[in-house]
Structures are given as C-alpha cells and as structure tokens.
C-alpha cells in the first residue's frame, strides 16, 4: 500500500464512531512524548458532549504564546 492510499483510508480509531446523545468523551491530545523538553508544551484536552467539541488548552504553552 502506498503512502497516498494510506492517507485516504477511513479511520479505524474508536473516536470516529458517532457518540450517543447522552455520552461524553474526554480525549487527551498531544500525549505522544514522555521526554520532558523546554521546546515542547503540555497536552490539551478535548471534551465531546451534547454535539459540542470543547478544547481546553491553557497550560504553560498558552501563557507563553499569549505574551
């Protein structure tokens, strides 16, 4: 399979499945590196509930970027 074909395959991740109306999902974003680094910022959190996608990202990186 070529890289081009791979990019157009449907997602197999459970998050692609539509949620029930009474379901809430909390997804951690940017958790890939366990090595602390000054060049990387912490994760953010995605909450999916009631048809809304709410992203919470107010860690050290957000403060640095605001200033």
Which residue in this structure is represented by tokens 């909390």? Answer: 26
pLDDT score at 28: 84
Which residue did the predictor score with more confidence, 24 or 8?
24
pLDDT of amino acid 24: 92
**Pair 48, 55: CB distance under 8 Å:** no
Using CA atoms, how far apart are residues 42 and 62, in angstroms rounded to an integer? 10
Using DSSP's 3-state secondary structure scheme, residue 37 falls into coil
pLDDT computed for residue 66 by the predictor:
67
pLDDT tens profile 19-60: 788 899 998 887 776 677 777 777 788 888 888 888 888 777
Q: Is the pTM of this model over 0.85?
A: no
């Amino acid at each position: 399979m070529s890289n081009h074909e791979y990019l157009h395959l449907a997602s197999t991740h459970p998050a692609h499945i539509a949620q029930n109306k009474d379901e809430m999902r909390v997804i951690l974003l940017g958790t890939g590196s366990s090595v602390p680094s000054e060049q990387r910022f912490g994760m953010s959190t995605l909450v999916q509930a009631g048809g809304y996608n709410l992203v919470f990202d107010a860690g050290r990186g957000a403060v640095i970027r605001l200033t």
